[in-house]
Every structure is written in structure tokens, then in C-alpha cells.
Amino acid sequence: MDKLALVTGATSGIGKAFADRLAADGYDLIIVGRRKDRLEEFASAHRGVTVRAVAADLSTDAGIDTVAGICAAEPLTMLVNNAGVAHYMPLAELPADKARELVHVKVLAPTMLTRAVVAGMRERGGGKIINVAGMIAFSGPADKAVMPRRAVYAGSLAHLVAMSQALGVELDDTGVQVQVLCPGVVATEFHERQGLDMSVVPRMSAEDVVTAGLRGLELGEVVCAPGVEDTRLLDAVFQADLAAFGGQSPVLASRYRAE
């Protein structure tokens, strides 16, 4: 198999759009999702490539271990960590099972799947890893009126940004590309499953998000923000991060010293 991609969360939204586009581009696919019927429906509709459907729940250790095993064993040329859940609510009101599910799906699963695939890609001298996050990853400093009710969700996406950036540096000159894909609001079933009506909110199509992600790989972007026209805004964020990191000292800052 010259081109083999594994896509999580492939039964709808961005994941399905990735799977559709990659199949059209001649990739053989391993598609992962919770809904076996939708996986099989996708496989039946894409006879021109080999499609392996894997029903797995990435909110569980068993599901993560199953897919990580596939990532380690198969000669993947692309991994798309797309699976997601939202659970938008204040942390104090977030049930423990929902918090655990969110962290498993958006932090633990992409971390462990990426870990499983990296060694083989590096040995083969190439590969592409796309971690689907979102612009909410940059919303931490926002005022409560602007971005309330999603502390764990925002934190999980911020993890994907930092991990992807650091991993991209680790894999420099290996032929393995890493990207974190950060769309804004996208027209998918994602919000509907959380009981949110987004019908009046301007939204990007999942197909446009995929177009941006794949083109971003060609451009060498580690952070791909499909709806941000002025990339200097992103550059300013990252330069500020590095300035703060470089501005540290072993000497206690003056504002913390007793007068």
C-alpha cells in the first residue's frame, strides 16, 4: 500500500470529509468510529480503494489500545486524529464521566495514537500526522462573556496545539510532518449532538476544512487555521509565547517580593 491513512471519528463531519477526500486521492483507508453501521456504509460506497472499518470507542482505554495497536502495526502514511466530543459546560457542572470522556478522546487518544505511529513513520522516512483541534484552543484569555462554559474543552485543544508544535520540532529532518488543524465553527453534526442550535451561526464546511489541512501540509504549516486570513496574527501569538518562555529567570520577579 503506497498510501494508507487512518482517520478517527470518520463517521461524520470533518472525519468523514477527510476520508472522502483521501479515498478520492487514492488512499487506502482504516476508518475508526463508534457507529459500525456508518463505517460499513462508507466502506460500501468506496469500492475503488481498500477500506477497513474499525468500530472502537476512543473514550475507553480498550478502544485507544486497539487503535494504537493498528497504528503501530500498519505502514501508515497519514494519521488523522479527528475524533471528538464537546461537553460544553462549566467545570464545576461537568459530570465526572463526561470530563473523563472528553480528556480520553481529545487528549489521551491522539497522544497515544501519535506515539504509536511515530516510530514507524520515522523509520520509513516519511508520513503525515494531522491533529484536529480548533480555534477555541486560543480562547483561554477570553472574557467570560465571550467564551464561557468550556474550560476542559479549550484545555484539551490547547494540548493538541502545544503537542503538535513540540513534536514537529522533534521530527525535524525525519520526513514526518505534523500539523494541528484549528478550524472555527464548522457545519457538522458535532454541535447538534450537544443539543446546540447553530443554524444561524456562519459556519465553514467540513470540506473546506479538509482542503485547508491538506494544502497546509503542502505549505509546511504546523498550525493550520482555515479561517484566519492574516497569518501574522498566529505568528504574533507564537512569538509572544517564546518571548515569555525566554524571559524567565531564576531570580524572583520584583512584583512578588515583599516591599
- Give the C-alpha separation, 61 to 112, whole Å: 10
Using the Cα atoms of residue 166, residue 168, residue 169 and residue 171 in order, give the sign of their dihedral: positive
- Give the C-alpha separation, 10 to 33, whole Å: 6
Q: Which of 27, 88, 153, 256 is catalytic?
A: 153
Instruction: Report the chain's terminal Cα–Cα distance, integer Å.
Output: 68
For this structure, is 88 an active site residue? no
- Give the C-alpha separation, 176 to 167, whole Å: 10
Is residue 179 within 8 Å of 221, Cβ to Cβ? yes
Is residue 84 within 8 Å of 189, Cβ to Cβ? no
Contacting residues for 255 by C-beta, under 8 A, at least 6 apart: none
Residue the block writes with cell 512584583: 255
- Which contacts qualify for 37-44: CB closer than 8 Å, 24 or more apart? 38/11, 38/12, 39/10, 39/11, 42/10, 42/11, 42/16
Catalytic site positions: 153
